[in-house]
A and B are shown apart, each in its own frame.
Chain A
Amino acid sequence: MAAIRITPGRTIVWLLLLLGGIAMLTPLLFMFSTSLKDSADVYDLRLIPAAPTLDNYAKVLSDGRFLRWLANSFGIATLVTISNVFFDSLVGYTLAKYRFRGRYVVFLAILSTLMIPTEMLVIPWYVMARNFGWLDTYWGIMFPGMMTAFGTFLMKQFFETIPDDFLEAARVDGLNEFAIFWRVAMPLVTPALSALAIFTFLGNWTAFIWPLIVTTSKELYTLPVGLSSFAVEQAIQWELIMTGAALATLPTLAVFLVLQRYIVRGVVLAGLKG
């Protein structure tokens, strides 16, 4: 790698990029800062609170609602992610590695669902959930996202890169077809699996409109829906609203700081191949 000369022009561009990046964080910085301020200090726009306090967090967490919503969101996002990682891979693998009549039709049918926006399906889903008694249940929140065409397509592309010889060798060794998928093929596509897992988890963690529609009791709210109702309740107590927003944001930011490399790579992979 050739060393890049440091010129005034380059330094200015670098500084502008850095300042822009810091400006991007302004909303997050003020959110955290205000969550640490006393209600009397909210109007004081200093970034570092004069007298930092965790009172807001104690207040917001005291009635257990937020912990419940955190747990709901975490549980739902985890289960939906596991389901997607398993089923999207299974379908992607089958479509990539088996030759059978109808394969192309199945692929096109699944791919065609990408054209249908979620918003078009929420009314029929709502009717369905109502008929089956799924309204206001965890399953009601989860069922529409258990598999996605996006994930299937992503995994299919990655399974296509695995040489058939690997699978044939396993077949000769007497492994059954499911074991070949699970123990031979899956370990070969772990980068794609983590990309799919990151995207699915994030999508479900931040999902808003469907959980808003399908849940009515507060105990079943996911974090975004809970936060939204909490914020309306608090009206003008901005320090408490910011604390709630911080609680919704902290987990993903913490995970990002630990897994930055994987997350950026995963997002790029999912974005470009999906």
Chain B
Amino acid sequence: MLRGLLGLTWLEIKIFVREPMGVIGTVGFPVLLFVVLSRLLGRRAAAPSPGVPAYVSIDLPIFASLLIAASAVLSLIAIMAIYREGGILKRLRATPLQPYTILTAHVLVKLLFTALTLAALVLVGRRFYPVGPEVPLLSFTIALLACTVSILSLGFLIASIVPTARFAQPIGTAIIYPMIGLSGLFVPVDSLPPVLKMIARTLPSTYAVSLLRGIWRGEGWAAHGGDVLMLAVLFVVFIAISARVFRWE
């Protein structure tokens, strides 16, 4: 039901921007963090130089992008919890709308704001972190959206287990941020202890970092087919589990 999907997506976009805190948290926070970090490090950020850790010099844009995805997921978890607790999901289900249409609309809203935030990041960060012409921004945007979709599917799973809206933020944060810690951005996945390595291998953020890094460096999609495949596999797995355990009320 395409008309319902587009209508609901448009409606949710309008509702989202009417809440200042949501927009600041999702769009403003990653941009602000990126600007502050870049500014602290000055022009050194863009190129590897002594005194600047490798993850900052090379991976700052990757880190910022991952934060965008993380904010989108946290926002989704909170919205799902609030909508469920308020009976909004149930009310929407008591219409000819298909259940997946309702959820897809929210994914589309999150993807739109992810792309917008990335654009804001590139524009605002231009002064401190000039993006060279060698960086394929379009490919990077597409890669980030693909990563976000995969991480959002984990978000639906988390949204299923969150008992009330009050717990949505803490539980979401407690899962999403450690996930970034294990993603290979700060410590290579291979040098993690065996248990953590195993956990990292089942998390979409790990493949997201590998893919985003590669695309940013201009390695191309072909070199990262495995990452894309794993993001897709995890998406299918998480959605399949969510479809079974997702609670509408």
Instruction: State whether these chains interact.
Output: no
Q: Which residues of B contact A (CB under 8 A)?
A: none
Q: Which residues of A contact B (CB under 8 A)?
A: none
